[in-house]
């Protein structure tokens, strides 16, 4: 089954509770955390995760676009994240392992994220211990960018590795996913699709979420 994770980066931050109710038919709430260092943008952080936690029964999929995420993963777990993903480019391999271990010690799911220029092999050291791998299909930092179809090769490669080594692991894509590009992602082997503008710009949000399932 294809899961949809609407990104609240495209929601109205003055009306987050209302905008989270609008995506009740989705599978995850995708929360983009940016520090202005790992990416050239600043979004939301721990207090916002804590505030939105009681507004939904959907799992919170927290995408950390921050340097040295090991410093903060426990706080995001305690704030109510169900799944925390960290970029492999954001720290040393040892510290990424430490971040994953801390997330697991809190009883939460952990994932690693690859930027467009990062090869599939960069996920290998973590493949057997994570619950999700996220492939960026835009440069992280902003919503509303154009889908990078050339990332599909990486998705196909990772699907094969996941099926061999950790079949329970989810494979997520993030960036530029719409009712057309979702088909390419699903065909390449992704099973969780993040969509920000395609969901929040839609007239009929539940219908758009259904359409993104392919
Ligand atoms: C980009 C974020 C995405 C973003 C996707 O750095 O990680 O989650 O919200 O937005 P769309 O779907 O508009 O490309
Ligand atoms: Zn994201």
So what's the pLDDT on residue 210?
98
Cα–Cα distance for residue pair 193/39, rounded to 1 Å: 21
Ligand 1, CB cutoff 6 Å, lining residues: 7, 9-10, 30, 32, 63, 138, 140-145, 174-177, 194-198
Query: Starting from the edge strand earliest in sequence, which strands make up the sheet with 60-65, in order?
Result: 3-6, 192-195, 170-174, 132-136, 109-114, 83-87, 60-65, 29-34
Ligand 1 pocket mutation pick from 9, 201, 202 by most atoms within 8 angstroms of CB: 9
User: Quick one: which ligand is closest to 140's CA?
Assistant: 1
Model's pTM, two decimal places?
0.98
Alpha helices in 138-213 (DSSP H): 152-165, 181-188, 197-200, 205-212
Q: For the domain that residue 119 is a member of, what is the CATH number?
A: 3.20.20.70
**Closest atom, ligand 1, to C-alpha of 137:** 14
Average pLDDT over the chain, rounded to an integer = 98
Burial-class residue 82 by CB neighbours within 10 Å (0-12, 13-18, 19+). Answer: middle
Q: Cβ distance 190 to 173 under 8 Å?
A: yes
- What pLDDT digit, counting tens, does each position of 12-29 carry? 999 999 999 999 999 999
Domain of 204, in residue numbers: 3-212
Phi-psi region of 80 (alpha: psi -120 to 50; beta: other; left: phi over 0): left
Mean pLDDT on 82-105? 99
Q: Cβ distance 21 to 55 under 8 Å?
A: yes
Q: Could you give the number of structural domains in the chain?
A: 1
So what's the pLDDT on residue 130?
99
Cα–Cα distance for residue pair 201/163, rounded to 1 Å: 35
Ligand 1 pocket mutation pick from 142, 200, 212 by most atoms within 8 angstroms of CB: 142
Mean pLDDT on 74-103? 99
User: Quick one: which ligand is closest to 147's CA?
Assistant: 1
Q: How close is the Cα of 78 to the center of ligand 1, in Å? A: 24
CA gyration radius for the chain? 16
So what's the pLDDT on residue 190?
99
- What pLDDT digit, counting tens, does each position of 109-143 carry? 999 999 999 999 999 999 999 999 999 999 999 99
Closest CA to 184 of 149, 133, 210, 209: 149
Q: Cβ distance 194 to 177 under 8 Å?
A: yes
């Amino acid at each position: 089954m294809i899961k949809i994770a609407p990104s609240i980066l495209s929601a109205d931050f003055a009306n987050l509770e209302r905008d989270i109710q609008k995506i009740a038919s989705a599978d995850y709430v995708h929360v983009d955390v940016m520090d202005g260092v790992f990416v050239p943008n600043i979004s939301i952080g721990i207090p916002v995760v804590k505030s939105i936690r009681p507004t939904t029964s959907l799992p919170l999929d927290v995408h950390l676009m921050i340097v040295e995420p090991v410093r903060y993963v426990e706080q995001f777990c305690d704030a109510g994240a169900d799944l925390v993903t960290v970029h492999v480019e954001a720290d040393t391999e040892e510290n990424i392992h430490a971040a994953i271990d801390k997330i697991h010690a809190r009883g939460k799911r952990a994932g690693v994220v690859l930027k467009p220029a990062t090869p599939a092999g960069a996920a290998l050291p973590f493949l057997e211990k994570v619950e999700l791998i996220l492939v960026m299909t835009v440069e992280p930092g902003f919503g509303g960018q154009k889908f990078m179809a050339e990332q599909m090769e990486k998705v196909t490669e990772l699907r094969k590795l996941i099926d061999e080594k950790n079949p329970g692991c989810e494979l997520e894509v993030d960036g530029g996913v719409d009712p057309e590009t979702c088909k390419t992602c699903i065909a390449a082997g992704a099973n969780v699709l993040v969509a920000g503008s395609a969901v929040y710009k839609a007239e009929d949000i539940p219908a758009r979420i259904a359409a993104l399932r392919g």
